[in-house]
């Protein structure tokens, strides 16, 4: 089966000092402690990455260490680090220039699941759409990575002569997963004019610029083509395919595209 995907979906705050994090209203925080990651290769021999989503803000004075950790973790091919700046600190004197309301909504949806480390706070890292931890606590993050489920489907891709990308998903399951194309900016630097980080220049890695729904994976092998137009998002220089169960469920597979 083959189809062309063309549609694009572009898609108050309170401050509390608690073990170096900043909380939005009605937050809860906990952390895990274990050890470090492993990510088996998929059927193509490529490591199947564990997805780490960092919820951060330019208005959060506790966030720079987590932003730095995200940059370091992103160098590991067994991990796919995605930075998701949130909007709920914008009222504190500085509007985050990279924030998207969709990021804030996703974090709230994760919090509603009640997983380990759940809550709406910055900085927070969420691993494979499940457990979370304070985003600057590397040991806790690596513990969650080590425990991440790596038994999901495999994703392989190839670039066609016209610039389109053929995506193949192999595996079987009894669950449904949404397929998303995420446009990322590999590096962003922002000079902060006001607020808690006023006067600082902040650096961010793999910042979400847009997200596109490509349909659903229904637990059986499938193949489809993504047209070149979908890889022309302003400010994006890399793209990833994510398979995630509905309702901010677990991320079951991911692949950074080689384009």
| DSSP string across 106-139 | HHHHHHHHT-TT-SSEESEEEETTS-EEETT-HH
Q: pTM for this structure?
A: 0.84
Write the pLDDT tens digit of every residue in 221-244: 999 999 999 999 999 999 999 999
- 251 near 244, Cβ under 8 Å? yes
pLDDT mean over 34-49: 50
Cα angle: 21, vertex 208, 139; to 5 degrees = 40
Percent of the chain whose predicted confidence (pLDDT) is above 70: 82
Task: Say which DSSP state 70 is in.
Answer: H
* 85/99 Cα distance (integer angstroms): 4
* Local structure of 89: helix, strand or coil: coil
CB 63 within 8 A of CB 56: yes
Distance CA 36, CA 96 (A): 32
With bands split at pLDDT 50, 70 and 90, how would you rate the model's confidence at 258? confident
**Cβ(51)–Cβ(254) below 8 Å:** yes
Looking at the DSSP assignment, which residues form a beta bridge with residue 156?
Answer: 168
Confidence category of residue 20, pLDDT binned at 50, 70, 90? very low
62-112 pLDDT, tens per residue? 999 999 999 999 999 999 999 999 999 998 889 999 999 999 999 999 999
pLDDT of residue 25: 38
Model pLDDT, residue 5: 40
**Residue 105: which residues within 8 A CB-CB, separation 6 or more?**
none
Question: pLDDT confidence of 44, banded at 50, 70, 90?
Answer: very low
List beta partners, residue 22: 122
Round to whole Å and give the CA distance between 203 and 197.
Answer: 12
pLDDT value of position 38: 43
The pLDDT score that the predictor gives to residue 16 is 34
- For residue 206, the model assigns a pLDDT of 98
d(C-alpha 183, C-alpha 163), whole Å: 16
The answer to whether 56 and 71 are in contact (CB under 8 A) is no
Instruction: Please state which of the ranges 4-8, 95-99, 121-125 shows the lowest mean pLDDT.
Output: 4-8
Determine the Cα–Cα distance for residues 31 and 131; give it in Å rounded to an integer.
9
**Pairing of the two strands 154-159 and 121-122:** unpaired
């Amino acid at each position: 089966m083959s189809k062309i995907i063309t549609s694009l979906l572009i898609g108050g705050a309170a401050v509390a000092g608690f073990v170096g994090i900043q909380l939005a209203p009605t937050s809860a925080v906990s952390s895990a402690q274990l050890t470090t990651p492993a990510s088996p290769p998929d059927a193509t021999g490529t490591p199947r990455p564990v997805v780490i989503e960092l919820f951060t803000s330019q208005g959060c004075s506790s966030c720079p260490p987590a932003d730095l950790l995200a940059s370091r973790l992103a160098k590991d091919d067994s991990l796919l680090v995605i930075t998701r700046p949130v909007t709920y600190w914008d009222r504190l004197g500085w509007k985050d220039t990279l924030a998207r309301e969709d990021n804030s909504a996703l974090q709230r949806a994760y919090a509603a699941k009640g997983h380990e480390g759940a809550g709406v706070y910055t900085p927070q890292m969420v691993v494979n759409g499940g457990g979370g931890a304070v985003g600057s606590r590397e040991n806790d993050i690596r513990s969650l990575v080590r425990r991440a489920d790596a038994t999901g489907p495999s994703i392989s891709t190839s670039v066609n002569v016209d610039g389109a990308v053929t995506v193949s998903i192999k595996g079987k399951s009894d669950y449904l997963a949404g397929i998303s194309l995420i446009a990322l900016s590999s590096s962003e630097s922002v000079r902060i004019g006001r607020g808690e980080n006023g006067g600082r220049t902040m650096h961010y890695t793999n910042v979400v610029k847009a997200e596109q729904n490509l349909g659903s994976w229904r637990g059986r092998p499938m193949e489809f083509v993504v047209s070149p137009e979908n890889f022309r998002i302003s400010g994006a220089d890399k793209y990833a395919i994510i398979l995630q169960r509905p309702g901010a469920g677990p991320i079951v597979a991911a692949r950074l595209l080689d384009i």
